[in-house]
Structure 1
Amino acid sequence: MILWFTYVQVAVAVLGGLLCVILGLAGRRPSDLTVGALALLELLLVAQVVIAIVAPFAGNVPSGSVLEFWVYLVSAALLPPAAVIWALLERSRWSTVIMGIAALSVAVMVWRMHVIWTIQIA
């Protein structure tokens, strides 16, 4: 993994998550702003999938479990679309909060992926 890209992903996930949670608790329903925050996060996760495929060929091999890394990455990539689908099916303030919780979960998962890739020894 690339350190600066990890920081960008975590920052976008935390900012988007806090935005969704705050707006949801304020009574706002899902909007273009909240769905767009999760769409940006998903775009970064798709880029991370490409980076994770290319990195070993460029000499940046993971030091931890490759299977564990990929399980985290696939799970993280599935969370934002699942949260958005839920939010569009149930248009309430709580679905906006759920989108925020999903984004905050992705932030934790991305950091864990970084630890698996760089620090953890298999």
Structure 2
Amino acid sequence: MILWLTIAALVIAVAAGLLNVVLGLLGRKPNDLGLGALALVELVLVVQVVVAIVAPLVGNPPSGNPVEFWAYLIAAAVIPVLAAFWALGERNRWSTVVLGIAALAVAVMIWRMHIIWTVQLA
């Protein structure tokens, strides 16, 4: 993984998570701002998928288990989508908090993917 991409993804995911948690605790229902922030997290994850496909082809393979990395990446890419469906299906303040928790969970998974790619030994 690319360090600056990891840092950018972490900043975006944490910011989206905190924004949605605060909006939810203030009593806001899911809206364009919260869902847009989560969509930005999903966009960064799509970029990460492309990087994860290209990086080994240009000589930057993961140092850890590639299956574990891909499991984290696929799960991280599915979490925001499922959270958005949940929030749109059950529109209340706690759905907005769920959006935030989903984004924060993705942030943790992004950091773990970085560790698998760069630090772990297979």
In the comparison of the two structures, how many residue pairs are matched?
A: 122
Distance 1:69 1:57 in 2: 16
Normalised to the residue count of structure 1, the TM-score between the two structures is 0.99
Following superposition, which runs of at least 4 residues in structure 1 exceed 3 angstroms of deviation? none
**1:1-55 CA distance string (max 9 Å, x none):** 0000000000000000000000000100000000000000000101100000000
Normalised to the residue count of structure 2, the TM-score between the two structures is 0.99
Identity %: 64
Distance 1:99 1:53 in 2: 28
Give how far 1:67 is off: 0.4
Give how far 1:71 is off: 0.2
Distance 1:23 1:42 in 2: 19
Aligned residue in 1 for 2:27: 27
One-letter identity of the residue aligned with 2:16: G
Counterparts of 1:1-122 in structure 2, within 5 Å, are 1-122=1-122
Distance 1:90 1:30 in 2: 9
Distance 1:61 1:71 in 2: 16
One-letter identity of the residue aligned with 1:49: V
- What RMSD in Å do the two structures reach over aligned CA positions? 0.3
Q: Unpaired segments of 5 or more residues in structure 1?
A: none
Indicate the SS of the match to 2:98.
helix
One-letter identity of the residue aligned with 2:19: L
